Amino acid sequence: MIHPSSVAVSREHRRAKTDRLDTALLKRGFLGWLRGERGHCSMARVPTIAEEDAKRPGLPAAIAASVNHTVRLSRWRNAMS
């Protein structure tokens, strides 16, 4: 993944470096990176699912508790009607 802040854009017209970047600029930066010219752009490594899960060890338990709470509320509402 190409890090958006590493791609050079014209400073005459200030604009956000998002998906609106020209494909020509992205292609030029990527080809320069492939040639070994590291100043063209920088790459960001995408973390694996296991690495993301390791960052938040309590998240699965929190999600399970939220789901259980939602199920209990819906059962209570159904019992009241």
The pLDDT tens digits of the residues spanning 28-60 come to 888 888 888 877 777 778 889 888 878 877 777
pLDDT recorded at residue 14: 62
On whether the CB atoms of residues 4 and 19 are closer than 8 A, the answer is no
Task: Report d(CA 43, CA 32) in Å as an integer.
Answer: 12
DSSP symbol at 5: G
pTM passes above 0.75:
no
Of 19-23, 41-45, 71-75, the range with the highest mean pLDDT is 71-75
Q: Using CB atoms within 10 Å of the CB of residue 57, give its burial: 0 to 12 exposed, 13 to 18 middle, 19+ buried.
A: exposed
Cβ neighbours around 40 below 10 Å, total:
19
Higher-confidence residue: 71 or 59? 71
